[in-house]
Amino acid sequence: MAYMSEEGYKKLVAELQYLEGVRRPEIIQQIAEARDKGDLSENAEYDAAKEAQGMLEAKIAQIKAQIADAKIIDESKIDTSTVQILTKVKLRNTKNNATMVYSIVPESEADLKSGKISSSTPIAKGLLGHKVGETVEITIPSGKIGFEILEISL
């Protein structure tokens, strides 16, 4: 079972619809055009189109499996008294006083540029279940780091 937000679920469904409705017909057309050019044994265009079709079908199967395995988290039932998946956490690094804001999201929705970190990262794991005002020491690959939880929101 893979937990995800409703937004993440909708993105997956939209990507699946695009791949099946747009990319698949494009690749089928490329294969047909390459086939019309004659000898398939020496046709690089045909080989490339067939390879693209195989990768596309694998991607479609992967997304269908993710959708079938998805458990959508009801954001209205999230308690912001502790850090949980889909909460936004404002932190202060106890060493250098730098503040940062992270949203804890399921692995499939992680995007560090947007401030979304996977719930399976060491930082997220170390924060889960803690409350505002607590200082948490988290072991990361480069050593230990301390964070004070300043705020938890949705």
Domain CATH number, residue 96 = 3.10.50.30
Question: Residue 142 sits in which domain range?
Answer: 75-153
Residue 81, token pair as written in the block: 């008294």
Q: How many domains does the chain have?
A: 2
* 43, 72, 101 - which closes a domain: 72
57 and 10 part of one domain: yes
51 and 14 part of one domain: yes
> What is the mean predicted confidence (pLDDT) over 95-112?
89
* 35, 51, 72 - which closes a domain: 72
125 and 67 part of one domain: no
Position 1 pLDDT exceeds 90:
no
52 and 83 part of one domain: no
Beta bridge partners of 149: 91
**Long-range contacts of 115-122, Cβ-Cβ distance < 8 Å, separation of 24 or more:** 119/3, 119/85
127 and 149 part of one domain: yes
21 and 79 part of one domain: no
> What is the mean predicted confidence (pLDDT) over 57-70?
92
Q: What is the pLDDT of residue 76?
A: 79
Q: What is the pTM of this model?
A: 0.67
104 and 68 part of one domain: no
Least confident of 37-51, 109-123, 140-154: 37-51
Position 10 pLDDT exceeds 70:
yes
86 and 67 part of one domain: no
CATH number of the domain bearing residue 48: 1.10.287.180
Least confident of 1-5, 8-12, 51-55: 1-5
118 and 143 part of one domain: yes
Contact between 67 and 20 (Cβ < 8 Å): no
**Residues 77-87: tens digit of each pLDDT:** 888 899 988 89
> What is the mean predicted confidence (pLDDT) over 44-71?
91
82 and 143 part of one domain: yes
Position 40 pLDDT exceeds 80:
no
Say which residues have a Cβ less than 8 Å from residue 42's Cβ, sequence separation at least 6. none
Residue with tokens 């997956």: 12
* 30, 50, 72 - which closes a domain: 72
The CA distance from 140 to 130, in Å, is: 18
- Helix (H, G, I), strand (E, B), or coil: what is residue 114? helix
Least confident of 27-31, 41-45, 137-141: 41-45
Q: What is the pLDDT of residue 126?
A: 92
